Structure 1
Amino acid sequence: MQPSAKSRVIAVVVAYMPDIDTLRALLDTLLAQTAGVFVVDNTPAADRRVEALCAALPQPALHLIRLGDNFGIARALNIGIDAALAAGATQVLLSDQDSLPAPDMVAALLAAMDDLQRAGQRVGAVGPTYTDRHTGITFPFQAHIPGRFFYGHRRPDAAHPTVEALTLITSGTLVPAQVLHEVGPMREDFFIDHVDIEWNHRARAAGFSLFGVGAAVMFHSMGDAMLRVWRFGWRQESSYSPVRMYYRIRNFVALCRLPTIKWRWKLRNAAYWIYFIYTQTVFGQQRLAALRMAARGLRDGLRGRMGPWRG
């Protein structure tokens, strides 16, 4: 289903040494649903896999921007967003390389955005309901729950097809062009991880609202693989490399230093990150390295040392 004539949705996909079959499925799906796709490639210059894939998809709506090295997801998003806006996008759809939207995801997001705007909402972004490919878990959205001191989680349902969310993940998020101009670019010093969360909180601080959409569906890979962990019973979680541990912990600490984020969110989210360190360092395959990198992330976050991990 194509977007309405009044909308010109352009997608921005960030790639870094991707699985080509997964990326091709994503591009095929997005090309069928949008007015154009910009692929911003962070893969080192010697690796031409993304270039070869894009050459094999000779569609005028597909554009490749090769950066020649890994400059991080935030810079790649900013470059792609600028290109999409210059191409006349009315809304920009952001995507990671390992997502697979449903065939009608963009149309469902646009319809929800239109309904919310007609209802008087100042919409900053809408995002799909997503299911993790590794664990099969369909995630709810962080949301304020009446009567609760801390935030909780809610899922859209028949009575409430959209949920006002505190945060949305990057992949699948649809953002109006005017919001991107007003809120500003992604923070490039975050490099990877929590780039979306920082921007989400900045958008909400600027008076915009974010919404999760039940009718918009997407599959997405959270982490690197599935991890079996114990928390009052065995369950499945996503596992992450030690380097990702570093970024996730460091950037969470950086979030906690921001005045635009409410302290109750910081405190509630801190409980999750303590649990996250537990799962990765007790049940992960690289436990000692994960613990060491988490400690370095905490240290650098407290010191304000941002940017890429230098080793």
Structure 2
Amino acid sequence: MSAPTSLLSEAYIIAIMVNWNGKAYLQASISSVLTELACCGGGLLLVDNASTDGSVDFVRRNFPNVTILQTGVNLGGAGGFSAGMQAALQCKKCEFIWLLDNDIVVESNALAPLLYNLATNPNAGAAGSQICLYNKPDTIQEIGAQFTHWLGGLQQCFSGQQRLPPTEPAFEVDYLAACSILIRRNCLEQIGVFGDFFIFYDDVEWGLRAKQAGWSLWGVPASVIRHQYSATKPIIPWREYYRKRNRLALLAVYSPRRGGIFASLIYLFYLNYNIYFHKWHCYQDLYHAYLWARDDALLGKMGKRDLSGLSSATVKINLECLADSDEILLDIGESPGEALILMKTILQSKPNTTFYLPEYLSHYFRFVDIPAAYLVKNKNCSTVIIGQKYHLKSAIFSAKVIGYKNGSLINMSKLDLVNDFVIRFIALLASLANTPSHWLTLRRIFKKTTCFNKYKICV
């Protein structure tokens, strides 16, 4: 149900959009936001994280009514939104703060349902939009998520499903993506702004903090935005650092309902396994990313870290490996982005190649159209390309096994496969031996921490 016109006309809303070198998105995103804000008081605050692509000049020329806050340094999404929220709270008339990504388009009448949800539910601290894909507007990216009971993961609501009609009622969630969240001022004043995460899990932690304080969060299908979401990004070491460190710290403070404190133990074991596996397989950048993520979490070090020493691998195709391969089973379970980049690179040189993907990877490719690939349950190809994560049967029943390592393709013998499994087994044993002591350190470091908001002490 949408809000009455009077609700919008009487509301004072400050929208906050964080930007870092996103000039290409700003024309569409800002235009759509300003259209929605035209019916109410307030305006748009663009927080620019020291962009170097001319974003600020572009906004000044084309959108003179947009207020710009220049941070002077890249604070990440967490720091940028926090700076914007603090600025918005300085405005005494501001009743609601609307957080938005810079790579979105707000569909018509997206704001009214969010406002109506908060106006009619006094316990609602925030309401979030139905987020659909930018180029596939009938496909849902997510409408919030639930914090899973055992492992403390995020189960995205309606992800990959058909877009819900506006008649669908709002529902309670544990987390709302900062793509589009309308926050009640009283809630923000009580629990504070985002924690010092730089990127990743800042909005997750904020949502859990809000719920811990007694507020509810709501996903609102009647409000729709479209997001330039990329499900095909490869694994990038510096991003992995923040993902792993922030999730480990999050689980040390917020225990899932049934897994309790042991969720952080299990995740720390998983992280330790990745450290040993990548070290002994000579994935140097990922090894250091995971090692630093663990060590910084164990020291309680959050915020931005200098990761300039980490690089991103590029694909270096050895065509000799694929000379006689027109049908390839691609079993790269660590990232759909890695698999898609590899497929596109091979197709440039071998356009008639047909790729097959194991059925267990279907979830990873729910947002992607793959015309040259087929999901199969049982398919014996003469050639299989395996990544860091793969099914054993893929390698055993293929005549030629090619490993995808550090952006390169490498022929693998049966002895190489045996060596790989020996490394995995030893990494497992090393993780079992070292994780308990690391976990006790983690528990001690975060024992008195109840939230990550460095601007407001939470007890």
When normalised by structure 2's length, the TM-score is 0.54
Please report how far the alpha carbon of residue 186 of structure 1 lies from its aligned counterpart in structure 2 after TM superposition.
Answer: 1.4
Q: Deviations over 1:218-237 (max 9, x none)?
A: 12244xx443xxxxxxxxxx
Counterpart of 2:289 in structure 1 is 293
Counterpart of 1:130 in structure 2 is 131
Residue type matched to 1:125 in 2? A
Tell me, yes or no, if structure 1 residue 86 matches structure 2 residue 90. Answer: yes
Change (3 A) 1:58 1:26: closer
Residue type matched to 1:184 in 2? G
Is the 2:14–2:88 Cα contact (8 Å) retained in structure 1? yes
Aligned residues: 280
Residue type matched to 2:295 in 1? R
Please report how far the alpha carbon of residue 255 of structure 1 lies from its aligned counterpart in structure 2 after TM superposition.
Answer: 0.4
Residue 183 of structure 2 aligns to a residue whose secondary structure is: strand
Q: 2:305 aligns with which of 283, 303, 309?
A: 309
Is the 2:143–2:221 Cα contact (8 Å) retained in structure 1? no
Please report how far the alpha carbon of residue 21 of structure 1 lies from its aligned counterpart in structure 2 after TM superposition.
Answer: 2.9
Q: Distance in 1 between matches of 2:97 and 2:181?
A: 8
Residue 56 of structure 1 aligns to a residue whose secondary structure is: helix
Q: 1:30 aligns with which of 18, 30, 33?
A: 33
Residue type matched to 2:242 in 1? Y
Please report how far the alpha carbon of residue 129 of structure 1 lies from its aligned counterpart in structure 2 after TM superposition.
Answer: 1.3
Q: Distance in 1 between matches of 2:74 and 2:246?
A: 18
Please report how far the alpha carbon of residue 77 of structure 1 lies from its aligned counterpart in structure 2 after TM superposition.
Answer: 1.4
Counterpart of 1:214 in structure 2 is 221
Residue type matched to 1:211 in 2? W
Is the 2:150–2:258 Cα contact (8 Å) retained in structure 1? no
Counterpart of 1:233 in structure 2 is none
Q: Distance in 1 between matches of 2:168 and 2:53?
A: 45
Identity of aligned residues (%): 23
Q: Distance in 2 between matches of 1:22 and 1:201?
A: 30
Residue type matched to 2:33 in 1? L
Please report how far the alpha carbon of residue 54 of structure 1 lies from its aligned counterpart in structure 2 after TM superposition.
Answer: 1.5
Residue type matched to 2:32 in 1? T
Q: 2:250 aligns with which of 255, 273, 284?
A: 255
Change (3 A) 1:265 1:152: farther
Residue type matched to 1:25 in 2? A
Is the 1:127–1:174 Cα contact (8 Å) retained in structure 2? yes
- Map 1:193-212 → 2, pairs under 5 A: 193-212=200-219
Change (3 A) 1:187 1:144: closer
Residue type matched to 2:131 in 1? Y
Is the 2:17–2:100 Cα contact (8 Å) retained in structure 1? yes
Tell me, yes or no, if structure 1 residue 75 matches structure 2 residue 79. Answer: yes
Please report how far the alpha carbon of residue 213 of structure 1 lies from its aligned counterpart in structure 2 after TM superposition.
Answer: 0.7
- Map 1:62-211 → 2, pairs under 5 A: 62-87=66-91, 88-115=93-120, 117=121, 121-133=122-134, 138-143=141-146, 154-155=157-158, 161-188=169-196, 190-211=197-218
When normalised by structure 1's length, the TM-score is 0.77
Residue type matched to 1:126 in 2? A
Is the 1:128–1:218 Cα contact (8 Å) retained in structure 2? yes
Residue 10 of structure 2 aligns to a residue whose secondary structure is: coil
Change (3 A) 1:13 1:263: farther
Q: Distance in 2 between matches of 1:133 and 1:302?
A: 39
Residue 129 of structure 1 aligns to a residue whose secondary structure is: strand
Residue type matched to 1:305 in 2? K
Greater C-alpha Rg: 2
Residue type matched to 1:77 in 2? F
RMSD: 3.4
Higher relative contact order (CA 8 A, sep 6+): 1
Q: Deviations over 1:167-222 (max 9, x none)?
A: 1111200001111101112112x111111111111110000000111111112244
Residue 4 of structure 1 aligns to a residue whose secondary structure is: helix
Q: Distance in 1 between matches of 2:235 and 2:169?
A: 32
Change (3 A) 1:239 1:65: same
Please report how far the alpha carbon of residue 51 of structure 1 lies from its aligned counterpart in structure 2 after TM superposition.
Answer: 1.5
- Structure 1: segments with no counterpart, 5+ residues: 228-237
